């Protein structure tokens, strides 16, 4: 099964932005790539277009209907909080095994991007994190990070957490932050001194496409 988990060093880093760019770049290459966002918090049914799920549907050329939303985001919560907290406010929970089964039962003939939620270890429920979810999948991984002050420590900490669970990202994607203390290339070069076995890519703000080699690894 061709699953790629889109992980990040924290929230609002750009997972959805990168997921959508991967889908759009693949489309320009004549390749079909699907995106799903199984867990989403801060979701408003009246503002589907503004949601992460809505952006993914748009990238795939699908209408922003609740029927389509349910297909790619079965666990939806209105509070813009960590998934466990958002679910608790609706007297709900996010059980790990059904979440894993949802991902594993996706169409195996189409490369599929599974966008995570929050950072590498945000809680899903009382006992499980997104890292538990990712480790339970037989999936590749792209780690999305930023170019903000502090990103080097956050990125290397995330990599250590992934390594503990036997996960080595296929790529690290530096998504240019709005406030960056140094040029992105300097951040990439510094990170590259410590991370020598994973390709590092820089994505400029408002980019239209991603490097084709990223799509070819899906």
Q: Is 14 annotated as a binding residue?
A: yes
What's the chain look like in SS3?
CCEEEEEECCCCCCHHHHHHHHHHHHHHCCCCCEEECCEECCCCHHHHHHCHHHHHHHHCCCCCCHHHHHHHCCEECCCCCCHHHHHHCCCCCCCHHHHHHHHHCCCCCCCEEEECCCCCCCECCCCCEHHHHHHHCCCEEEEEEECCCCHHHHHHHHHHHHHHCCCCCCEEEEECCCCCCCCHHHHHHHHHHHCCCCCEEEECCCCCCCCHHHHHCC
Q: Is 37 a catalytic residue?
A: yes
Q: Is 148 annotated as a binding residue?
A: no
Q: Is 17 annotated as a binding residue?
A: yes
Q: Is 15 annotated as a binding residue?
A: yes
Q: Is 196 annotated as a binding residue?
A: no
Q: Is 27 annotated as a binding residue?
A: no
Encoded tokens for 18: 């990168």
The helix-helix angle for 184-194 and 151-164 (nearest 10°) equals 40
Q: Is 50 annotated as a binding residue?
A: no
Q: Indicate which residue of 24, 28, 37, 163 is catalytic.
A: 37
Cβ neighbours of 205 (radius 10 Å): 13
Q: Is 118 annotated as a binding residue?
A: yes
Q: Is 119 annotated as a binding residue?
A: no
Q: Is 175 annotated as a binding residue?
A: yes
Q: Is 117 annotated as a binding residue?
A: yes
Q: Is 109 annotated as a binding residue?
A: no
**Annotated binding-site residue numbers for Mg(2+):** 16, 52, 115
* Residue numbers belonging to the annotated binding site for substrate: 41
Which residues are known catalytic residues?
Answer: 37
Annotated binding site for ATP: 12-17, 52, 115-118, 175-176, 212
Would you list which residues are annotated within the binding site?
A: 12-17, 41, 52, 115-118, 175-176, 212
């Amino acid at each position: 099964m061709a699953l790629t988990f889109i992980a990040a060093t924290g929230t609002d880093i750009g997972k959805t932005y990168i997921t959508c760019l991967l889908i759009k770049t693949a489309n320009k290459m004549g390749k079909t790539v699907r995106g799903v966002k199984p867990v989403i918090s801060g979701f408003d049914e009246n503002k589907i277009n503004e949601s992460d799920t809505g952006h993914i549907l748009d990238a795939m050329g699908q209408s922003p209907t609740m029927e389509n939303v349910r297909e790619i985001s079965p666990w939806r919560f209105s509070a813009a909080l960590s998934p466990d907290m958002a679910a608790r406010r609706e007297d709900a929970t996010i059980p790990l095994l059904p979440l894993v089964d949802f991902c594993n039962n996706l169409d195996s003939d189409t490369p599929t991007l599974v966008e995570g939620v929050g950072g590498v270890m945000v809680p899903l429920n009382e006992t499980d994190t997104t890292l538990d979810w990712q480790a339970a999948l037989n999936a590749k991984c792209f780690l999305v990070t930023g170019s903000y002050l502090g990103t080097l420590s956050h990125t290397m900490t995330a990599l250590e957490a992934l390594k503990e669970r036997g996960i080595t990202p296929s790529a690290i994607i530096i998504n240019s932050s709005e406030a960056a203390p140094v040029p992105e290339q300097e951040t990439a070069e510094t990170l590259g001194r410590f991370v020598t076995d994973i390709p590092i890519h820089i994505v400029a703000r408002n980019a239209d496409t991603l490097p084709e080699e990223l799509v070819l690894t899906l």
